[in-house]
Amino acid sequence: MIEVNILPEETPGTTMFNRVAFVTGASRGIGRAIALTLCRAGYDIVVGSRDLETNEEVAAEIRTCQGQALAVNLDLRSLESIKEAFGKALQQFKRIDVLVNNAGLTRDGLALRMKPDDWNLVLQVNLTGAFHCIQQVLQPMMRERWGRIINISSVVGETGNPGQANYVASKAGLIGLTKSIAQEMASRNITVNAIAPGFIDTDMTSVLTDELKEKMLAHIPLKRMGRPEDVAAAVRFLASEDAAYITGHVLDVNGGLYM
């Protein structure tokens, strides 16, 4: 009788190797939650942001859950910084299976008085920087014929928002970028999706007044703010084999704020 050895399906948690996820803006908030959630799901993590000291703290947390971690300095305003960070990641892990473009910033103001520098900075970091990160992973993913690119957009990229013309333009641009790259890469088994968080409890929203928070909650059917872990769970799903037939999609994580 001939024995046949059946190898386990190669998915995070059951693979003969760990897949590698590069998370931008991973030092705090949603990015930190994403990094730790993917670690617990069996991924090795590249922690990227400009705050190298905090990156190292997150990397240390990842190592406690038995994942490998690399902390890299990543300044999305600089193409050279992006190339250097991804070069270090590829040198250590030899592969990047998942890219999560999470890093972003705001410089709010009415369009009438918005300074050119504030417009340019937000578009440079939130959209152009994300595009340059995508460029760094396409060839490695094409070689492996497997990849997941997940762009963190925003509900305001779908609805618009007064006083945030630059931020809204960058997040709406991420949705368009997602759909274009998804079409280009589908034949290589690389999926590209976006997540549009709503009102999430992070440092960015902590500065809002209680009155403004109450007004926002009144428009959310689930009557609560989201948690960074809510967004991280959506990332974990889109990064998995369970989402293999989903690409070019925008997944709303907003408590029903926008339907």
Binned at pLDDT 50, 70 and 90, residue 13 comes out as very low
Q: Is residue 166 part of a domain?
A: yes
Q: Is residue 176 part of a domain?
A: yes
pLDDT at residue 16 in the model: 60
pLDDT at residue 166 in the model: 98
Residue 251: both structure tokens together:
């997944």
pLDDT at residue 171 in the model: 98
43 is catalytic: no
Cβ proximity of 152 and 202 under 8 Å: no
Q: How many domains does the chain have?
A: 1
pLDDT at residue 205 in the model: 76
Q: Is residue 257 part of a domain?
A: no
pLDDT at residue 12 in the model: 46
**C-alpha to C-alpha distance for 113 and 134, rounded to whole angstroms:** 32
pLDDT at residue 4 in the model: 37
**C-alpha to C-alpha distance for 41 and 173, rounded to whole angstroms:** 30
Q: Is residue 143 part of a domain?
A: yes
Mean pLDDT of the region 9-34: 80
- pLDDT tens digits along 97-153: 999 999 999 999 999 999 999 999 999 999 999 999 999 999 999 999 999 999 999
Mean pLDDT of the region 233-244: 98
pLDDT at residue 209 in the model: 83
Mean pLDDT of the region 2-25: 62
**C-alpha to C-alpha distance for 77 and 186, rounded to whole angstroms:** 29
- pLDDT tens digits along 197-221: 999 998 777 777 888 889 889 999 9
| Upper half-sphere CA count for residue 40 (Cβ side, 13 Å) | 12
Residue scoring higher pLDDT (216 or 32)? 32
How many separate helices (H) and strands (E) can be counted in the chain? 10, 7
CATH number of the domain encompassing residue 203:
3.40.50.720
Q: Is residue 256 part of a domain?
A: no
- Domain of 235, in residue numbers: 20-250
User: What is the chain's alpha carbon radius of gyration, rounded to the nearest angstrom?
Assistant: 18
Which of these, 126, 151, 148, lies nearest to 137 by C-alpha position? Answer: 148
